[in-house]
Structure 1
Amino acid sequence: MPERSKYSCTLTGASFLFFELKQVVLLKEQGLQDSEIREKVRTENLFGYKVKSSIKRSLPSVLRRINALDDTLRRIVVEKSLETGKIINLYAIMKTDRLFFEFMNEVIRDKFERGDYHLERKDVNVFMTAKSEQSETVAAWTEKTLDKLKQAYIKVLVDSGVARDRKTGALNRILMDEELKRHLVGIGDKAYVKAMGEWFE
């Protein structure tokens, strides 16, 4: 279960942010503290944003994700392939966003287990409607916020490689690096691996 137990809609302003995550991982590996990272990212515009104020919106989410990763996972982001780094970013999003974890676990995992490789708009709508009925927090969000959140979920799926195409909704089964898989299972996060659609014997 994600460490942040409350439902959140922060993905509407954060989305995948893999480039940003990698920049911050490199700073963490140099031993910088969060406060030093914030200062360096802002003063040097390390994210390369045209509008610097965008950093205020994305950096808190990036730092939350980074702080959900242990030393091994941060090392793998730096050393392994782009695809593996993206899978770790997807894991970090699930670790810090309870609602998105539940979406992956209840919708995407279920589809992979049934051999259904197609995500329809109605699948996302049904999920959000069910959560609105179960949670006062989600029920209080406006239709506009929910629409943005649905779009953000699809974007994360596409950017991580879980979805092939935003329009068709075609899903891909990811190929997880064996070292990464063993490590996640070893630290007790098998549920997150399964939520990404990985097979287990």
Structure 2
Amino acid sequence: MELEYSSALTGAGYMLYEVKQISILKKEGLLDKEIRQKVLEENLFQYEKMSSIKRAFPYILKRVNVLDESLLQLITQESLEIAKIINLYGIMKSDRLFFEFMNEVIQEKLQRNEYLLEKKDVNSYFTIKAEQSDFIASWSEATIQKLKQVYKKILLETGMLKSLRTGELNRLIIDEQIKDQLRGIGDIQYIRAMGE
């Protein structure tokens, strides 16, 4: 089943801490509604506003729900570097527009050994997508701007972007455990999209 395009990342960016909290509860065997209840009652995300938790929660849960048992194990037990890459995979796997950005912009640049993400690259990506999809074309300029910021911030927090100012790209070092797992479940395209 192909994912629909979504602007959900405007309200649920990188959020590694939140993803790890939900992953831990998932590993403990809690059901989605039990996880939601626990997150809200105990303010596990440590947010000031309950409305922020309620808005972000469904997207974070969706991201965690695309992770299999092995990836849940890795994201909760292994290093921060491994968790970052699994979170990036989760974002791509649960957000079609972001996956296509990684696949069509970042992967292509890294394949050509171009290590600069320029404003025009991001702008033209969104322009092309708006031409291909009436749904994306209907989004406000503010939504598109916010998504551009969030995409860059995700790359920055993952370590693929050295700085927002320079736009300099880095290759990720992807742990063999992650590569083996993603290959094993037929998700090699996500490894490629990360520039491998």
Task: Give TM class, smaller chain.
Answer: over 0.9
Superposed, which structure 2 residues align to 1:78-97 within 5 Å? 78-97=76-95
Measure, in 2, the Cα distance between the counterparts of 1:171 and 1:64.
Answer: 28
**One-letter amino acid of the structure 2 residue matched with residue 76 of structure 1:** L
Q: Would the aligned equivalents of 1:4 and 1:97 in 2 still touch at CA under 8 Å? A: no
Superposed, which structure 2 residues align to 1:40-51 within 5 Å? 40-51=38-49
Tell me the TM-score normalised to structure 1 length. 0.95
1:163 paired to 2:173: no
Identity rate of aligned residues, in percent?
A: 53
Superposed, which structure 2 residues align to 1:19-168 within 5 Å? 19-168=17-166
User: In angstroms, what is the RMSD of aligned CA positions?
Assistant: 0.9
**One-letter amino acid of the structure 1 residue matched with residue 13 of structure 2:** S
Which 4+ stretches in 1 moved above 6 angstroms?
Answer: none
Measure, in 1, the Cα distance between the counterparts of 2:26 and 2:115.
Answer: 37
Identify unmatched segments of 5+ residues in structure 2: none
**CA shift for structure 1 position 5:** 1.9
Tell me the TM-score normalised to structure 2 length. 0.98
**CA shift for structure 1 position 170:** 0.9
**One-letter amino acid of the structure 1 residue matched with residue 100 of structure 2:** E
**CA shift for structure 1 position 4:** 5.1
**One-letter amino acid of the structure 2 residue matched with residue 19 of structure 1:** Y
**One-letter amino acid of the structure 2 residue matched with residue 191 of structure 1:** Q
Count residues with an aligned counterpart.
196
